[in-house]
Amino acid sequence: MRAVVLVGGEGTRLRPLTSTVPKPVVRLVDRPFLAYMLEWLARHGIEDVVLACGFLPTRLREALGDGHRHGVRLHYIVEPEPRGTGGAIRFADEALDGGLGERFLALNGDVLTDLDLRAQIDAHEAAGARATLGLVPVDDPTAYGLVRLAHGGAVRGFLEKPEPHEIDTNLISAGAYVLERDVLDLIAPGRGVSIEREVWPLLVGDGLHGVAHESAYWLDIGTPERYLRGSQDILAGAVRSAVRERLDSHGLAHGAGCSIEGRLRGPAVLGDGCHIAAGAVVGPGAVLGDRVVVEPGATIEQAVVLDGAHVGRGARVSGAIVAPGARVGPDCLVTGAAVVGPDATLGAGNVLDRGMRLFAGVELPDGAVAF
C-alpha cells in the first residue's frame, strides 16, 4: 500500500523558522520533522511514500534523500501550482507510474502522531468503506471542525467550530485517511480541490467512515508554541519515537565532538560539535542543534537552539526558539515562545517575550527591546 503525504504548504504560521526551508525539514529534536512521520509509516509496514511537494522541493530532497534511512522509499511529486488537499492527491496519482493503487493512504504532513494506522486500515476493510478518517479527541472542541459518527463508525456529519451548546462530540480529523481508488473520481482534475470541504460531504451516507484513536498522541506542529510542545513531548516520551532510545540513564544524548564544560540536565539532546562553556547550564528540556556555542553563565531550558547558533555570556533562553545561525548577545532574555530567526543578531541586554519573532537576518542593537 502506498501513502501520499501532503507537504506543499509554506508553513507561514511557523515563520521565521520556515522563511528559508520548508516546514517538513525543520529540525525537530534530532532529525527533520517529516522523518517522524516516515518512521511511523515504516513501523506500520508502509514502504512506498509519495511526497506531494510545493514549497522548496529541492530542500526536501536534500534533507530526506530516497528515504532509505527512515525505512521507506520516497517518490517526489511537485505540484505546478497549489491545488488543495484533494487536488494534490489527484495530481500525485496522475503523475505516478501506476498511480497510488486501488487502496492507499493520504496524510497531512503537518502532524506529529503515533496513532495506530493498522487498526484504521483493518476497520476500513471490515466496514467495506470508501474512505476512513482517523479521528482524535481534543480538549477544546470549539476551536476545531468536529466529526460526528453514527453507531458502527459511519460519518453522519461535520460541525465547523461550533458554539458550546452545539457540541456533541470531541472528535476531529487527524489528517490520516484510508482511501479506495474510486474516491479520486470525485476530485476534479487540474484545479484546486479541498478534500475536507468538497469531497467528504459527498460521501456522507455513501461509504465515509471514521475511527476514533482515543489514546493516540497527535499534535499539529503549526506554530512556535506547538513546535516547542512537540519537542518537549518527544524528549519526555509522550509520543513514540526513536529519540528516546538515544537517551542515557540521565535523559541525555549528544553527538560527536562536543565539548561540555558546563552542566547538562536531562532530558536534553545536543547535536554534533556543541560547546558548553564552564558555568553554563543546558536543560532540562533543551534541544541543541549542531555546532551550538553556549558561553559561560548562560542558561538554556525548555527551549530549542538550532544549528550554528551562539548564546552569549549570562543570557537565558527559556521556552523559546533560536534559529540556525542566530546570535543571542550577553545578558539577553529570550522567553515566552519568542523566536530569534535565522542569522538574526540580538545585541546585549535585549528581552524578547510574549511570542515576539525576530525575522531572518535582522540585527537589534544592545538594549533595543525590553518587555
Q: What is the pLDDT of residues 279-338, one digit of tens each?
A: 999 999 999 999 999 999 999 999 999 999 999 999 999 999 999 999 999 999 999 999
More confident residue, 159 or 262: 262
Q: What is the pLDDT of residue 345?
A: 96
Tell me if 29 sits within 8 A of 287, measured CB to CB.
yes
Q: How far apart are CA 291 and CA 298, in angstroms?
A: 16
Q: What is the dihedral of CA 140, 177, 227, 229, to 10 degrees?
A: 50
Task: Give me the mean pLDDT over the 248-277 stretch.
Answer: 95
Res. 211 pLDDT band, cuts 50 70 90: very high
Task: Give me the mean pLDDT over the 17-21 stretch.
Answer: 83
User: Residues near 351 by Cβ (< 8 Å), separated by ≥ 6?
Assistant: 332, 333, 334, 369, 370, 371
Tell me if 187 sits within 8 A of 193, measured CB to CB.
yes
Q: Where are the beta strands (DSSP E) in 92-230?
A: 103-108, 111-113, 131-137, 145-149, 155-160, 171-180, 208-212, 218-220
User: Residues near 193 by Cβ (< 8 Å), separated by ≥ 6?
Assistant: 83, 84, 85, 86, 87, 90, 187, 199
Helices (H), the chain: 33-43, 57-64, 84-95, 117-127, 200-203, 224-236, 243-246
- ∠ CA 282-371-323, nearest 5°, is 45
Question: Can you give the length of the chain in residues?
Answer: 371
Task: Give me the mean pLDDT over the 98-124 stretch.
Answer: 93
Domain 2-226 homologous superfamily, CATH: Spore Coat Polysaccharide Biosynthesis Protein SpsA; Chain A (3.90.550.10)
Task: Give me the mean pLDDT over the 217-222 stretch.
Answer: 91
Top CATH class of 247-364 equals mainly beta
131: exposed, middle or buried (Cβ count in 10 Å: 0-12, 13-18, 19+): buried
**Which residue matches cell numbers 513546535?**
227
Mean confidence (pLDDT) of the chain: 92
Has residue 214 got a pLDDT over 70?
yes
Model confidence over 39-83: pLDDT tens digits? 999 999 999 999 998 777 788 888 899 999 999 999 999 888 888
Q: How far apart are CA 178 and CA 100, in angstroms?
A: 12
Handedness of CA 256, 259, 264, 268 (dihedral sign): negative
Res. 371 pLDDT band, cuts 50 70 90: low
More confident residue, 206 or 11: 206
Q: How far apart are CA 197 and CA 203, in angstroms?
A: 11
Model confidence over 78-99: pLDDT tens digits? 888 888 999 999 999 998 877 8
Domain ranges of the chain: 2-226, 247-364
Tell me if 27 sits within 8 A of 57, measured CB to CB.
no
Tell me if 26 sits within 8 A of 9, measured CB to CB.
no
Q: How far apart are CA 146 and CA 219, in angstroms?
A: 16
Task: Give me the mean pLDDT over the 344-360 stretch.
Answer: 94
Amino acid (one-letter) located at 200: W
Instruction: Lowest mean pLDDT of 139-143, 184-188, 223-227, 257-261, name the range.
Output: 139-143
Q: What is the pLDDT of residue 73?
A: 95
Q: What is the pLDDT of residue 96?
A: 87
The residues that bridge with 157 in the sheet, in sequence order, are 148
Task: Give me the mean pLDDT over the 333-349 stretch.
Answer: 96
Q: How far is CA 271 from CA 314, 317, 319, in A?
A: 22, 17, 19
Has residue 9 got a pLDDT over 80?
no
Tell me if 142 sits within 8 A of 183, measured CB to CB.
no
